[in-house]
Amino acid sequence: METQEIRELFITYGTRREKKKNQPIYDPTLGQPKGEAYFLDQGIAALNCIGANGEEQVYLYFGEQRMIGFSQILAQKYISNQPMNLLAAPSAFWITAKTPCVVYAMEESIFNHLLDEMPAFMNAVLGSLTINYLEVINKVQHSHDVGKDILFCEWLLNCCVCRKGLCVIPKAFTFSEIAKFLGIHPVTVSRIAKKLKNQGIIDRKDGYLVIENKEKLLEMVQQKGTGIS
């Protein structure tokens, strides 16, 4: 199922919501009686929790045109009868708008109906779930196995959005925030960004960090470990 078809299902059966920067898309403290799944139509959101030290910890950034927030529904549907009491309960997580966002929220009952009646929709959900899993695994693995420059390049590719024909990073992301997410120093992020700019791969335009050569950036990531000369 193509992304546009998934979007149309969420538009047809869901509710459109606009979220300002830092507003929750999903908030576990609200005690929502019904589960919801979301299609992130515009903007970038973060899967985050509050750590033991009281600081926000971001696990993933979600880009545009993507299904998010459906894991709770799948857990209820497929593992509710499993001995989950043997496992430690996960920390509460939020999905937060990191930039102004437009989402379509679909109720659990409708989401489950589409899972049961539309094999193509089920395949799309499994694809999204696999992408989320691999991104979490890659974030952990790559933090140990690849260079800091490659980590930053991967982040650029994951968090860029298309605006007026340009591939840009939203202004909401500072080098300090990027560094915290990647587990490296802000000075290191600044140094890598300067090297990428000198190579004509990224630039600054109208206050945005712009990816000028996405193909070269992708090539560097695929080569993993060659680094930035």
User: Within its chain, how far is the Cα of 188 from the centroid?
Assistant: 23
- What CATH number does the domain containing 9 carry? 2.60.120.10
Tens of pLDDT, residues 129-143: 998 888 888 777 766
Task: Verify that 89 and 163 share a domain, yes or no.
Answer: no
- Is position 229 within any domain? no
Number of domains observed in the structure of the chain: 2
DSSP β-ladder status, 24-26 and 101-107: unpaired
128 and 154 assigned to the same domain? no
Domain of residue 161, residue span = 146-223
Pick from 202, 25, 196: which is nearest to 99 by CA? 25
The mean pLDDT value of the chain amounts to: 85
Report yes or no on whether pTM surpasses 0.85: no
DSSP state string for 192-222: HHHHHHHTTSEEEETTEEEES-HHHHHHHHH
CA distance 101 to 21: 7
82 plus 99 within the same structural domain:
yes
The token duo for 24 is: 């929750």
Whether residue 176 sits in one domain with residue 106 = no
**Confidence class for position 148, pLDDT limits 50, 70, 90:** confident
Q: Which of 67, 61, 178 is nearest to 114 (CA)?
A: 67
Q: Among residues 142, 148, 150, 145, which one has the least CA distance to residue 220?
A: 150
Give the whole-angstrom CA distance, residue 219 versus residue 213. Answer: 10
Pair 163, 188 in one domain: yes
Q: What is the pLDDT of residues 202-221, one digit of tens each?
A: 999 888 899 999 999 988 88
Note whether 26 and 126 are same-domain residues.
yes
Both 88 and 72 in one domain: the answer is yes
228 lies in a domain? Answer: no
